[in-house]
Structure 1
């Protein structure tokens, strides 16, 4: 199973690269598949590649579910 997570574009770099924020962690990713990505867009990231854009509200709901899952696992 593969997992792609929402991340916010915080910096656009040359050669279709970008810095994204993954819950406070910043990572450089390829935006070859989402060449129209702009600052503050949310993209779905899997193994260093932005696969597509996602609606900001949907991104926030998904990130909230991940946080809830992490909290539940920490309590177990």
Structure 2
């Protein structure tokens, strides 16, 4: 049985947010390279957190695909 539209939208939204987080981490890296006296450890920590959050969202996408997470219609 195919996924309902609302679950497909959820999957698309989660995937989009995960991509945005990864893109933001890359932008932070590029910006940090241009800043003098930047705290590299803190920048890496922030980037790592963004990548971890993106991975969580991707795991949720997998759960939507398998039907473990389903978005129903709003009541």
Name the TM tier (shorter chain): 0.3 to 0.5
- Greater RCO, 1 or 2 (C-alpha within 8 Å, sep 6+): 2
Length-normalised TM-score, structure 2: 0.35
Which is richer in helix?
2
Report the structure number with the largest CA radius of gyration.
2
